[in-house]
Structures are given as structure tokens and as C-alpha cells.
Chain A
Amino acid sequence: MTQWLTPEEWQVVGLSLRVALWATLASLPVGLAVAWLLARKRFWGHALLNGVVHLPLIMPPVVTGYLLLILFGRRGFFGELLAEIGIVFAFRWTGAALACAVMGFPLMVRAMRLSIEAVDRRLEAAAGTLGANPVMVFLTVTLPLILPGVLAGAILGFAKAMGEFGATITFVSNIPGETRTLPTAIYTYLNVPGGDAGAIRLTLISVALSLAALLVSEGLARRAARHVGGV
């Protein structure tokens, strides 16, 4: 099976999986916190936060990538600060992961927020009257109930990260082994006469990975829902 793809192409697949995994893991806690805030709390700036969270969904990806470049590039405001403590995003896979995390964030937050809003608050209240403190209520009642939504959001973010192109190539460009993810590699093949074979190979891998992610997501969501439903 290893001869289906060249070693460089396997490297591309591995890099894509690594970038997407880290992007999802890093944005999971932040996404959950923001979704909780938007679902449960009312405060001044609620609509503004909601708008900002959804920005990467509606702005052209190249614009998002350009903003990341200005803020986190070598000469960027945050980029310079973070470089002093050793965190570098420019031209590195960490930058690709950041771009993917930002682009997948709105999808993740939407899915999680929906499931948080769907929780029957009376169940939480009942747990409270039976003696559970807020943390226990969250862990034993709320979390199992929102798990399907959280998982769906995570998988959605992962799938978006696997397919992210515009923001990634604008922010960290196209460096083999470092930022040349699956979509970027396909794009590179398409820019050279005779690159069709390689492009098709990588496209098939891309489709297979996306389908696998969706099937796993569906399976997990159904299992969690069954578990929660008490069956």
C-alpha cells in the first residue's frame, strides 16, 4: 500500500493529519468556553462576540490569512511577543495549525452552542436540589448531555482543518514538510503541467479521509445519544 503515494505525498498526508489534530485539540477548550458563554450568559457585547466568532466563516479565507500574517507574522504584533517566549508561527506547521483552528472555530462553536442550549435546565436544577455542587452538576449531568454536540463540533473543526487552504497558504505559504498540507499540495500539482496524476491521487486520499471523519462523527454522535438516552 505504501507505493500508492510517493514518500513526499505520505509526508503531506502525515502533516495534514498532525496540523488538523493539533488545531482541533487546541481550539476545543476555547470553543467550549466561548459556546458556554454565548449560550448561558447575557452580557454587554454578546452580539459582538457572536459576530467576531463567526467572522472567519464569512470573510474570504485569504483575508483571514492576511490578518493572521499581520498579527502573528514575523513582524506582527503578537508574532514578535510570542517569538520572545519561543512560540513561532511564521512559515511553520504551528502557523498552519493556527490558521486551521481559526477557520474551524465558528463551526465548532455553533455545534457546541446548539447542544448546550438544548440541555433541559430543570435536570441541572434537580441535580442541584439533590446536593450536587455546580462542578458536579456540570460533570455528571451537563457534560454527558452535550457530548454529542461537542464531538460533532470537534469532528467538524477537524474536517475543516483538513481542508483549509486559503488562509493557510496566505499566512504560512507553501513549504514542503512544514506547511504543505493536502489542499496546498493538490494546488501545487495543479500549477504544473503534467501534475494531474499526483493531484488525483491526493484528491482521492482527501475524499477518503473526509468520509472517514464524517462516518466516525456520525457513529460517535449516535452512540453518545444512545448512552445518554438511557438505552
Chain B
Amino acid sequence: MHRRRILAWLLAALLLAPVSPAFAQSNEVLVFAAASLKTALDDIAKQWRAETGKTAKVSYAGSSALARQIEQGAPADLFISADSDWMNDLAGKNLIKPATRADLLGNRIVLVAAKDDKTALKIAPGFDLAGALGNNRLAMANVDAVPAGKYGKAALESLGVWPSVSAKVAQADDVRAALLLVSRGEAPFGIVYATDAAADPGVRVVDAFPADSHPPIIYPGAVLASSKTPDAEAFLAHLRSAQAKPLFERQGFSVLD
């Protein structure tokens, strides 16, 4: 009976111990970034850590999903979206520090296929994408919400091809998931950013979409209103610095100033 009492107290102590505020307030910068930034931003975060010793943790997803999480109160410090719409959405809800907002990068969208696919297709008004797809799917990010999907749909609409392929689209959660579908051979073609095609050796670029067929691709970044970390602005400044520039350009982004 005595032993059981001791055991019970021990168990209670073990269960209640973590409740004490043992976690120090970390000075990490939590960044919510568009999925297409993964390769470049991982490198830059490493570079920043090597230079300053500070840590930036990055969470990648479709910009729409990230905007929603921020709206729901996610404790992020920095948001980098793949289009201005979602940044404007958050600005309209007073969730960003407007003075910190800046347009960081530009990109292009391309049509990709698996690397051993030999199809040659020229992107021009009315080009026969539906014919090239046959009974198979065109992999894109969600065309209603995720920027890569929206740009892709806009481009196909302006080229007059959207009605013939809209039923053949396989929509993924973000552009990297669409890239994976093509890379794995599940979908013969996909629309992703030029930077994603460069990052995955398993796909090859069939052709690039003319820049005037869709709204200009701009990646804005801003510090969030709820952020309490002074290092957030420091990381944003680093992203715009001369050291980060070659890491972005190496992936194929165009750095805006």
C-alpha cells in the first residue's frame, strides 16, 4: 500500500512537470513562405545562420493556405507570398506592418514534362495542349487560390486554351506538389515556376509562357503585425541584401529592387 502511494505521487509529478514554463522565449524568426521558395530560402536561412548565428525557421505551403493560417492567428513573424493578392488580403485585415512590405522577387511560369519525355510543344495562342494530354492530366496548383495555379489559369485563358483543358487539370495543394506529380510520371505535363523546374532534375521544360499572358509574378514580403521578434526585420533586410541576391538568382528568381 505504501509503495503504491509513492508510485502514484511519482506518476503525478512526471505528468505535471512539463506544465512549468520551462520553454524559454526563443528568438527564432518564424517565416511563412510560398512553397516555390523552398530551395532558395533554405540556403539563405543557412547563410544567415552562419553569418549572424540567428535561426530562421521556414514553413512552406501554398500562399493561400499560409494566409489563412495567419488569419487564424498563427504565430509567424514574416510572410512571403507568391502573389500580391494574398498580401493585400492580409494588409486589408491589418495583419502586417505596412512599412515593412516590399516586393522581393520575380519569376516565370513554364510548361514541364518528365525528363525523358520527348514531346516538343510550342506555347502560342490556341496551341493543342488538350491533344498532347490525351486522356491524362495537367498538374497545376489549385487554380482558384494558389498563386502558381492562378497564374497558370490566367495564362491558359489569355492563350484561349483553358476551356479545352480545364476538365483535365489535376490540382495540387501547392506548386511543389504539382511538380512532384510530373516528376513521378503521374501527370505527363504540368505548369510550375521556372525556378521549380530548375530545382528538380526529374523534369524538363517544354516551353515558357510569355510574360504578358498573365499578371506579373511578384513575391512580396512583410513582417506580420503580431510579430514580437526584432530579428524579423533583420531577416527581411538580409533577404534584400547583396549576399542573398546570388542565392535567389542561382535558382532562377529575378531580384527586384
A residues within 8 Å of B by Cβ? Answer: 69, 73-75, 90-91, 173-176, 188, 190-193, 195
Q: Looking at the complex, which one of B145, B170, B181, B186 makes contact with A191 (CB distance below 8 Å)?
A: B145
Q: Are B172 and A173 in contact (CB under 8 A)?
A: yes
Which residues of chain B are near A190, meaning CB under 8 Å?
A: 68
Most buried by B among A176, A188, A192: A192
Q: Are B144 and A192 in contact (CB under 8 A)?
A: yes
Q: Are A175 and B170 in contact (CB under 8 A)?
A: yes
Can you name the residue of chain A whose Cβ is closest to the Cβ of B145? Answer: A192
| B67-93 to A contact mask, C-beta < 8 Å, 1/0 | 110010000000000000010010000
Which residues of chain A are near B181, meaning CB under 8 Å?
A: 173
CB A93 to nearest CB in B, in angstroms, measures 13
CB A179 to nearest CB in B, in angstroms, measures 9
Q: Are A74 and B186 in contact (CB under 8 A)?
A: yes
Rounded to whole angstroms, the CA-CA distance of A175 and B172 in the bound complex is 9
Can you name the residue of chain A whose Cβ is closest to the Cβ of B61? Answer: A191
CB B14 to nearest CB in A, in angstroms, measures 27
24 pairs of residues in contact across A and B, judged by CB atoms under 8 Å: A69-B186, A73-B184, A73-B186, A74-B136, A74-B186, A75-B184, A75-B186, A91-B137, A91-B170, A91-B187, A174-B142, A174-B172, A175-B137, A175-B169, A175-B170, A175-B171, A191-B64, A191-B65, A191-B145, A192-B64, A192-B65, A192-B68, A193-B89, A195-B68
| B30-56 to A contact mask, C-beta < 8 Å, 1/0 | 000000000000000000000000000
| B131-144 to A contact mask, C-beta < 8 Å, 1/0 | 00000110000101
Rounded to whole angstroms, the CA-CA distance of A112 and B181 in the bound complex is 38
Rounded to whole angstroms, the CA-CA distance of A11 and B185 in the bound complex is 29
Given the interface pairs A75-B184, A174-B171, the reply to whether A188 lies near B142 with Cβ below 8 Å is yes
12 additional contacts, CB 8 Å, given A174-B173, A191-B142?
Answer: A73-B186, A74-B185, A75-B185, A173-B171, A173-B181, A175-B137, A175-B169, A191-B68, A191-B173, A192-B64, A193-B64, A193-B68
Which residues of chain B are near A191, meaning CB under 8 Å?
A: 62, 64-65, 68, 142, 145, 173
Which residues of chain B are near A173, meaning CB under 8 Å?
A: 170-172, 181
Rounded to whole angstroms, the CA-CA distance of A176 and B71 in the bound complex is 26
Which residues of chain B are near A193, meaning CB under 8 Å?
A: 64, 67-68, 71, 86, 89
Can you name the residue of chain A whose Cβ is closest to the Cβ of B171? Answer: A174
Can you name the residue of chain B whose Cβ is closest to the Cβ of A175? Answer: B170
Rounded to whole angstroms, the CA-CA distance of A193 and B70 in the bound complex is 9
Rounded to whole angstroms, the CA-CA distance of A193 and B91 in the bound complex is 13
Rounded to whole angstroms, the CA-CA distance of A176 and B167 in the bound complex is 9
Can you name the residue of chain A whose Cβ is closest to the Cβ of B86? Answer: A193
Can you name the residue of chain A whose Cβ is closest to the Cβ of B143? Answer: A176
Rounded to whole angstroms, the CA-CA distance of A192 and B146 in the bound complex is 9
Interface residues of B in 152-197 (CB under 8 A from A): 169-173, 181, 184-187
CB A227 to nearest CB in B, in angstroms, measures 48
Which residues of chain A are near B86, meaning CB under 8 Å?
A: 193
Which residues of chain B are near A175, meaning CB under 8 Å?
A: 137, 169-171
Can you name the residue of chain A whose Cβ is closest to the Cβ of B90? Answer: A193
CB B134 to nearest CB in A, in angstroms, measures 12
CB B41 to nearest CB in A, in angstroms, measures 21
Which residues of chain A are near B186, meaning CB under 8 Å?
A: 69, 73-75, 90-91
Rounded to whole angstroms, the CA-CA distance of A175 and B86 in the bound complex is 23
Rounded to whole angstroms, the CA-CA distance of A69 and B184 in the bound complex is 10
Can you name the residue of chain A whose Cβ is closest to the Cβ of B177? Answer: A173
CB B76 to nearest CB in A, in angstroms, measures 14
CB A26 to nearest CB in B, in angstroms, measures 23
Can you name the residue of chain B whose Cβ is closest to the Cβ of A191? Answer: B65
Rounded to whole angstroms, the CA-CA distance of A102 and B67 in the bound complex is 35
CB B141 to nearest CB in A, in angstroms, measures 11
Which residues of chain A are near B64, meaning CB under 8 Å?
A: 191-193
CB B188 to nearest CB in A, in angstroms, measures 9
CB A69 to nearest CB in B, in angstroms, measures 7
CB B40 to nearest CB in A, in angstroms, measures 23
